[in-house]
Structure 1
Amino acid sequence: MSTSIESGPERSEPGLAEVVGERRHLINLAYRLLGSLAEAEDAVQETYARWYAMSRARQEAIESPGAWLTTVATRVCLDLLGSARVRRERYVGAWIPEPLPDRTEWTGGASGGGGAESADPVDRVTLDESVSMAFLVVLESMTPAERVAFILHDVFRYPFAEVAEIVGRTPAACRQLASSARRRMRAAQDPAEPVVTEVPQVPEGPAVPAAGQAGQAGQAGHAGQAGLVRRFKEAWEAKDIAALVALLDPDATMTADGGGLVGTVLRPVDGSEHIAQYLIHIADRAPGLTLLERTVNGRPGLVAQHAGVTVTVAAFSLAGGRIARIWAIRNPEKLRPWTEDGQS
């Protein structure tokens, strides 16, 4: 949890360093809960608006401003998750969580030439196993209550007694919600549907490393995925269908997200041969497409640029040494952190 001081109101306030220093933690929490950087920033802004709307006396009466901020941010996210499910039912095509670049590769923030104290939220999200695209996609299958209980307990290590206070349920109910969420995680790890191969299988207790932690196994997995993604990129550039098929799991799936704003397939493309043929079709229709190896949500991925503009960000999941899932995000509203000026 960060304790750094960022710019804030000039007036002296109780626990100002603690209040402002919670922003990084809140952004990390909200992104995992919502799967959208823009929505996470809105939730955190709303949380701070509620804090600053209180009188000085009410602020001073709060024993732990950090705990208060976490509680409010979580409840704001819980409300947003309920409305998001309705919006995503009307979404054109598949909805994929918003992809995040590594801060060292980000063109729109501090590492892209801005100041070291950039206020952009993407620079605050810790990229670990709990933000891998495979992990976030499984979170989308959970109910809002399951997702909140699971993230708070299994990812951020809040005891169930604290989770219960935050979400307004009993500790026993929160324990059941987290257990149900873990079952969803384990079901997604079935070999027939290898969605979250990066996430360790744990029968009981927390299912993932605590937020911000990365083990040696994860680093080794990154190296293996980087090599596979590089070979995939080279085969795509060479329009080598046989090489692409060899790199893909026979039952691989590619899902694209255009949001109805750009052209793309509305249904998943299934099977290694169909995916390879589709990729070659894309290359033929967009001559001059440039593929770049980039970190996507903490994992090796690809960025496609056309005429210098980022048009697609691709995340991958592996199974048995091959690519099992591809998520291609093309919705320009989700690609703002990947563009030169932060605009779509």
Structure 2
Amino acid sequence: MPAMTEPKLISGNSNRPLAHAIARRMSMHRGMNVSPVDARVERFNDQEIFVEVFDNVRGEDMYIIQSTSNPANDNLMELLIMTDALRRSSASRITAVIPYFGYARQDRRAKARTPISAKLVANLLTEAGVDRVLTLDLHATQIQGFFDIPVDNLYAAPIFALDIKHNFKGRMDDVMVVSPDVGGVARAREIAQRIGAPMAIVDKRREKAGEIAEMTVIGEVSGKTCIIVDDICDTAGTLVKAAQLLVDHGATEVHAYITHGVLSGPAVERVSKSVMKSLVITDSIGQTEAVRACDGIRIVPTAPMFAQAILNIWNGTSVSSLFELDTLGPIYEGLYSGG
């Protein structure tokens, strides 16, 4: 088997701009051109997925960049079929780089006779031939245990901390981090500790799925610049209501930092009409033109972090080092210099 000389990328159709951005960052780090291998991922007339890899990948260390976002089923099948194509082409190792891990919200049996879809997806990826998974902000960290292969779960918290310190410079004393529900307290607490800010919680109670009966604020938010922190924003209904509740309780400004901007249905319209000053998301999901055109939504890049994580995996060095600002800061120096 030939020695592995360089990590090689291959991209599905879910988020090609992110794949090319990762390739550009890796090119900067390596001092040589890194680009996704030449391949086609297409549909037959009946919408069956067809994959053909044109470059030789025998013995290579391959990284498939593919979010399993909307359309989740199509993008998941692309990932599985690309894995099969690489495995049958004698790739040495296949790492699935999944910036947004779909089906992660179905991580347990909340009611009788319901599936644990996250576990099923983990089984599918493993059986297809994935050797390792690299992802970002899993909805539930225990999903890592659904796999019998290594899983590296990156966190957006260090990037968000850099962004907050940069954009709220000079008024950090007024900043308060808010968790939109009790389940997100750990995520909010991590950012609060990183930026040295206090924390509050919005407690919501549901009478039935999709309908919030009551929301209350735990903590004193009057006169504060509130920053809501969460991992997923889907239709933005809960987020917008939480923002309004904080303003009603005396918050001077409300901003939101959400890792995965699913932003389906009326989400963009709700955000644009809400009391929120800004919604910050990452580029883990390829966004629509409506999202990019919305003045109230800003997208921060994850390519620098993913590129460094891929290189660390390839080199056999620490991925968890990227959780620290001392390590991640220089990677984002051009974006947050002086922050």
TM-score by length of 2: 0.28
Higher strand proportion, which one? 2
Q: Which has the higher contact order (CA 8 A, sep 6+)?
A: 1
Higher helix share: 1
